Structure 1
């Protein structure tokens, strides 16, 4: 029988790719390798925690912490109304796809460092509770969850996410979400140093103050553009929405901590464009998701605030995010009704 070496070509190719992939295990790709969006935020939140621990203002002012997803990026100490701004500071740890699991890990790390806030704003979105969407959990698991964190959350991860996590460690390039087009662009224009925070403009904007991102959603876009975005994200998030079980335990852990430590807590449901909210109505989100959260929050002595009601700010950057122009009034409402109450 004649030899057929070509049958081994796929195996050789696989082994070659597998070995090349191990380049992405080098520390340079994990210590500080900023691409865009997700990786910038998750890296900055680690820096922000260190800045919080060294902030001399904490000796003189009360501390508020914000946890959540991109819908709470604009919450800022700059919005704390007078005269309360003389007595308060605020750090915003909201993250892309900021699921409660991520908020709990960040909160616990801050507490373990010896910092106890006076007020916690926990922003929640129903999309974060959908375990069937791998892209909801993956940013946190890849960029915000170290070995100790994985040991904490592993038993609560859906099987599919456990499988993806294992693949991320078999194929290292997956774990850093390598953006080839961004790499090519930076290489072409001589901007490779932007992988470092000192030269990354997006990082500088986020790191300039205390974690808020006022540049995100600063405009109120035309209604037609927002309606088109509504169809896109409605199909993306809501067409196959499933209320999962992985995040509720971490929401409850946060609430139990704040109750035990007597930390004032506000659970917020940020407003979305009314056209997108109609998708929520179709899946009875208020009844099956928000109402149980209200009950849980009340059980642990926390307040709740649902902005998806008439006569609240109707300026939107896109279907999923209010304009940052809304947040000055919203911060005033929060401080007068909840923080200082």
Structure 2
């Protein structure tokens, strides 16, 4: 029988690819490998916790912590109204696709570090509760959840996302989600050092203050642009909607932590653009998601606030995010009615 070495070529190719893939298991790709957006934020939140622990002012003043997703980025100490500002400091731990699992794990770790806030704002978005939208859960599992975290949340991860996570472990490059266009750009500019926080401008911008991100500080974008964005994100997030079961236990666990530690808590539903809110109405979000959340929050002694109502600021950066200018009056509302209550 004649030798047929070409039959081994696929095996050799597979072994080569598998070996190259294992390069992405090196710590350099996981400890501090900043690409853009999500990876920068999740890394900065870990650094922010260290900064908070070392901040003497935080122990001398009343401390507020903010948790949630990108809709709560603009919450800032700068927005605390006079005369209250001299007595308060605020750190913002909201994260991209900041699901309740992430908020609970963050708060749990901060409390374990000996950091105890006087007031906590938990910002919630209904999109995070749809277990069929795996892309919402993915950033947290890849960048915000260590082994200790996995031991806590694994039982509540949807089966499809467990499978995706296991594939990330087998094929390491998946977990890195390597941005090839960004890699090419940095190579051409000789800026590979931007993968490190010390040289990364986006990280430096976010890390300059106490976690807030004021990029949404426009007075308002043109209505035509916001309407186009409504169609885009409406199709992405709310083309279909199913209220899942994975996140509710972590809202409750969060509230249980704040009650046990006697932390005043506000559960907030941020406002979205009116045309986008129509998607919420289509799926009866207020009735099936917010009202049960309100009942649960109040049962743990927390305050609740729904900004999706008449009379709330109508300036928007896009269909999903209010302008940062809205938060000036809204922060005053929070401090007068809840923080100082």
Q: Same fold by TM-score, threshold 0.5 exceeded?
A: yes
The alignment partner of 1:16 has SS state of helix
Distance 1:165 1:217, change over 3 A: farther
The whole-number CA distance in structure 2 between the counterparts of 1:30 and 1:245 is 30
Report the counterpart of residue 178 of structure 1 in structure 2: 178
Report the counterpart of residue 334 of structure 1 in structure 2: 334
Matched, 1:238 2:231: no
Q: What does residue range 193-232 of structure 1 map to in structure 2 within 5 Å? A: 193-232=193-232
Contact 2:216 2:321 in 1 (8 A): no
The alignment partner of 2:304 has SS state of strand
TM-score w.r.t. the length of structure 2 is: 0.98
The whole-number CA distance in structure 2 between the counterparts of 1:255 and 1:189 is 48
Distance 1:16 1:58, change over 3 A: same
Deviation, structure 1 residue 217: 4.9
Report the counterpart of residue 162 of structure 2 in structure 1: 162
The alignment partner of 2:101 has SS state of helix
Distance 1:218 1:10, change over 3 A: farther
Runs of 5+ consecutive residues of structure 1 not aligned to the other structure: none
The alignment partner of 1:311 has SS state of coil
Report the counterpart of residue 11 of structure 1 in structure 2: 11
Deviation, structure 1 residue 6: 3.4
Report the counterpart of residue 267 of structure 1 in structure 2: 267
Report the counterpart of residue 26 of structure 1 in structure 2: 26
Report the counterpart of residue 309 of structure 1 in structure 2: 309
The whole-number CA distance in structure 1 between the counterparts of 2:216 and 2:47 is 20
State the Cα deviation string for residues 89-134 of structure 1 (Å, max 9, x = none).
0000000000000000000000001111100000000011111111
Distance 1:194 1:293, change over 3 A: same
The alignment partner of 1:324 has SS state of coil
Deviation, structure 1 residue 3: 4.6
Q: What does residue range 40-55 of structure 1 map to in structure 2 within 5 Å? A: 40-55=40-55
Report the counterpart of residue 83 of structure 2 in structure 1: 83
TM-score w.r.t. the length of structure 1 is: 0.98
The whole-number CA distance in structure 1 between the counterparts of 2:219 and 2:59 is 36
The whole-number CA distance in structure 1 between the counterparts of 2:262 and 2:75 is 22
The alignment partner of 1:317 has SS state of strand
Deviation, structure 1 residue 218: 3.4
Alignment coverage as a number of residue pairs:
341
Matched, 1:147 2:147: yes
Runs of 5+ consecutive residues of structure 2 not aligned to the other structure: none
Contact 1:143 1:176 in 2 (8 A): no
Distance 1:335 1:17, change over 3 A: same
Matched, 1:279 2:282: no
The whole-number CA distance in structure 2 between the counterparts of 1:104 and 1:222 is 36
The alignment partner of 2:319 has SS state of coil
Q: CA RMSD in A?
A: 1.1
Contact 2:216 2:322 in 1 (8 A): no
Contact 1:65 1:91 in 2 (8 A): yes
